[in-house]
Amino acid sequence: MTAATITLDVTGTPATPFDRLVAVELRKIVDTRAGRWLLGAIIAITAIVMTIFFFAAPEDERTFSNFMGIAATPQGFLLPVLGILLVTSEWSQRTAMVTFALEPSRSRVVAAKTVSAMIWGAGAFVAAVVIGTLATVAAGAPGAWDDVGGEMVLLFFLLQLITIMQGLAYGMLLLNTPAAIVTFFVLPIASSIVFSLVSALEDAAPWIDLGTAQTPLFEGATDLTGEMYAQLGVTSLIWIVLPFVAGWFRILRAELK
């Protein structure tokens, strides 16, 4: 006796809404202990650094732009780790098979993770603005708001997105949390050391070294020239866009175990 063959037709099944994929990726960060601790650390360390600056800096330096510049340093170190965990936790915990079984299009999953990373970057930016505003109001320094402008706020927001997208790109490329974190911290530092020690490379540094190109953003500069924007774009292409594209293709071809 031969069993009847049953064909399951899923061609009419609607695709998972993209906003639902983004919501799932956002929730994955807070579903893990590491993710929750990292989010708490980003906010806590930002507040602690601003508090230290509040008491250590002279009164005339307790301005909103300075508080935002101080916040850029800890967030610049921690946000990329958040971007890395958005990708690598999927593979280290072996949940990628479930994710891609529920959503077969890996490109849609990567796109959802990218949007999720930008949302978390925006959230960190809002937290820094809120804490910086409270610190500036509490300081009550004369002229504390004089240097505040839309360009300064947008540049700080751009810096947040760049840092978290760099972590996301490294996570996609390596698919391993320790390897991605070590690579993120070691490779740019090694690059900056080489360009600072070799005088012949000094002129090329802003066009190749991401840290050099980002220095004006970390310093809170608002008078970036066209050349500075071009340098930021070229270095972002080298250090973020190319690894991101390579990581995207790796995820498309990676074997699920």
Here the tokens at position 63 are: 């301005």
Q: What is the predicted pLDDT for the residue at 109?
A: 94
Spell out the domain ranges in the chain.
18-253
Overall pTM > 0.75: yes
Asked whether 211 and 188 are in contact (CB, 8 A), the reply is: yes
Q: What is the predicted pLDDT for the residue at 246?
A: 96
Angle formed by the axes of helices 242-253 and 106-139, nearest 10°: 140
Task: Kindly list the distances between the CA atom of residue 202 and the CA atoms of 99, 102, 143, 233, in Å, as whole numbers in the listed order.
Answer: 46, 50, 36, 18
Give the pLDDT confidence of 63-101 residue by residue, as tens digits.
888 888 888 888 888 999 999 999 998 887 778 888 888
Give the pLDDT confidence of 200-237 residue by residue, as tens digits.
778 888 899 888 888 877 766 667 788 888 999 999 99
Q: What is the predicted pLDDT for the residue at 170?
A: 95
Q: For residues 134 and 138, give the distance between their C-alpha atoms in angstroms, rounded to a whole number.
A: 6
Task: Kindly list the distances between the CA atom of residue 20 and the CA atoms of 15, 118, 196, in Å, as whole numbers in the listed order.
Answer: 11, 16, 46
Mean pLDDT for the chain overall: 87
CA angle, 166 then 78 then 129, to 5°:
100
Q: How confident is the model at residue 45 (pLDDT cuts 50, 70, 90)?
A: very high
